Amino acid sequence: MQIIIYQGGNVVRGVNVVKIESLDYKPKPIDENFAEDVDNYPVTGKHHDHEVRAEGKQRMDADGKPYPIKNGIHGTKVAVDWESCVADGACMDVCPVSLV
């Protein structure tokens, strides 16, 4: 299944949806206080003018097992935790700044 993302009436991109049950890890919600928790989420770089936190740092999933990727959290006002993103589109309905 694929979610199509539109911007200004034009298709920007398609995103493949992943079933959580098919993953070999258990995603968890983004930490509400990640921006203040510099020990666990240090700023590790920038990407397209936004901060990246904890990129390259091993973090644990909801079961306490290591996530298989280390892409970190991108963004400040609106952030995406790439370790727990499953491309289900839930963020698109609640995005306060029409990012997606």
**Ordered domains of the chain (ranges, CATH):** 2-94 (3.30.70)
Question: Which residue shows structure tokens 């644990």?
Answer: 60
**Given pLDDT bands bounded at 50, 70 and 90, which one contains residue 100?**
very low
Tell me the pLDDT tens digit for each residue of 40-87: 999 999 988 888 999 999 999 999 999 998 989 888 776 777 777 777
Q: Tell me what pLDDT residue 64 has.
A: 96
* pTM beyond 0.85: no
Decide if 100 contacts 14 (C-beta within 8 A). no
Decide if 78 contacts 95 (C-beta within 8 A). yes
